[in-house]
Amino acid sequence: MAEYGWPRLRGLAPAGRRFTDADEQHTRELLDRTGLTISSLAYYENNLHPDPATRESIRTHLKHAIDTAARLGVDSVGTFVGRDPRLSVLENLREGEKVLPELVEYAGERGVKIVIENCVMEGWHPDGYPGNLAYSPELWEWMFGLGFYLNWDPSHLTWIGIDPLETIEPYLDRIVHTQAKDVELFPGKRNRYGFFGIVDKGGDPWATGWWRYRVPGLGEVDWRHVIDRFHDLGYTGTVSVEHEDPVWGGTPEKVKQGLRIAHRTLSPLVEP
């Protein structure tokens, strides 16, 4: 398949290439041959980017992803709300209310839901504050009012002090996709760096100082109770492993082993 992914935003290159008839045919043949299905397409960028040209480039490519999802019969596309770090949270919400509904309408006209991941994206903010304004149930309710849905990820909730189990039932009708990712916490390091994490990141905006993401089963998330709660409430959406584990990453062999660990953790809970 020809390359179809994140466009180069720096320098404002054209916002990605369109998904062609040949791409569609090749994709369908690949899925048929492997027995795989696509649960969701994804373009996780900052839809409130402070630079107008970059923001427009992002919007254009997100629409390309929505068009592609519609062609392939995929019912959702994932992205972030984002944030303009020059503005307060409330100012960003007012800006979002002006510019985001058009994306929801565009997707809805094509039978596609836009799902927002509740990732904090602290690396997008120069001071380590949330760079994606969808990190808490309070903000979920705001974005649901704009027509968005939720790509629920318990790992982010855990490190910011929210009990993931308590967020399932109230918002079940808006959770259409779930990311199975765990998080390992280091309270002793938090006592040194504080809640917002390490200040001197050594050039790595994602250096946290006191938490790291793990595959399911190697962190703090209570997967037995999470999956049981989903079963109890009749959740019918996708549970998709997101592999960002630094221990089981770096080589194809380690990545495969990380996925095996995730499978061993989750399969007894989800398979009949």
Averages of pLDDT over each 10 residues, the chain, 272 residues: 45 60 94 96 97 96 97 97 97 98 98 98 92 98 98 98 98 97 97 91 89 97 97 95 96 97 96 67
According to the model, what pLDDT value does residue 2 have? 31
**Can you tell me the distance from the alpha carbon of 233 to that of 56, in angstroms, rounded to the nearest whole number?**
39
Token digits of residue 187? 């309270």
According to the model, what pLDDT value does residue 226 have? 98
Is 39 in the same domain as 135? yes
According to the model, what pLDDT value does residue 222 have? 97
Rounded to two decimals, the pTM is 0.92
According to the model, what pLDDT value does residue 1 have? 28
Task: Decide if 158 is inside a domain.
Answer: no
Is 119 in the same domain as 64? yes
According to the model, what pLDDT value does residue 272 have? 63
Instruction: Domain count for the chain, please give it.
Output: 2
Burial class of 102 by CB neighbour count within 10 A (0 to 12, 13 to 18, 19+): exposed
According to the model, what pLDDT value does residue 214 have? 98
Last residue of a domain, one of 103, 126, 152: 152
Is 92 in the same domain as 37? yes
According to the model, what pLDDT value does residue 205 have? 86
Q: List all residues 6 or more positions away from 23 whose beta carbon is below 8 Å from its beta carbon.
A: 1, 2, 4
Q: Name the phi and psi angles at 7, rounded to 5.
A: -80, 160
Contact predicate 207/184, CB 8 Å: no
According to the model, what pLDDT value does residue 191 have? 95
According to the model, what pLDDT value does residue 130 have? 96
Residue 236 domain boundaries:
168-272
Task: Decide if 41 is inside a domain.
Answer: yes
Contact predicate 44/78, CB 8 Å: yes
Q: How are strands ordered across the β-sheet holding 175-180?
A: 41-46, 76-80, 113-117, 149-152, 175-180, 238-241
According to the model, what pLDDT value does residue 16 have? 53
Is 180 in the same domain as 270? yes
According to the model, what pLDDT value does residue 203 have? 87
Last residue of a domain, one of 128, 152, 176: 152
Is 8 in the same domain as 140? yes
Task: Decide if 249 is inside a domain.
Answer: yes
Task: Decide if 162 is inside a domain.
Answer: no
* Spatial CA neighbour of 115 closest among 168, 176, 202, 60: 176
